[in-house]
Amino acid sequence: MFIRKEQGPVFITLPNGSKLSRSDLPAKTTSRWVARRKARVVMAVVGGLLTSKEACDMYDLSEEELGSWCQAVKTHGTAALRVTALQKYRQL
């Protein structure tokens, strides 16, 4: 018998029609954050798969860091999550 510990939905449907589940998220031990991994975490938080508190605890992120990722995606899209593009999308 399987008892589910996580709260919330099992998966979410993304705007492009694909599905994102908790198993699609980066590993909890992730230390190298590339744009693709950041985008998955942001999509999970925005879609309601994870709360921002859960994401911060799971990946050892600060609220400000996760908030900046979400704001970057909301304002400029996932391309803004690339480290090499920070200066291009930085708010003055």
Greater confidence, 1 or 31? 31
In sequence order, what are the residues at sequence separation of 6 or more whose Cβ sits closer than 8 angstroms to the Cβ of residue 84? none
CB 26 within 8 A of CB 39: no
- The answer to whether the pTM exceeds 0.85 is no
Report the candidate in 33, 66, 38, 31 with the shortest Cα–Cα distance to residue 51: 66
Mean pLDDT score of the chain, rounded to an integer? 87
For the chain, which residues make up each domain, given as ranges? Answer: 11-23+32-89
The average pLDDT across 28-57 equals 94
Quickly name the fold that domain 11-23+32-89 has.
Arc Repressor Mutant, subunit A (1.10.10)
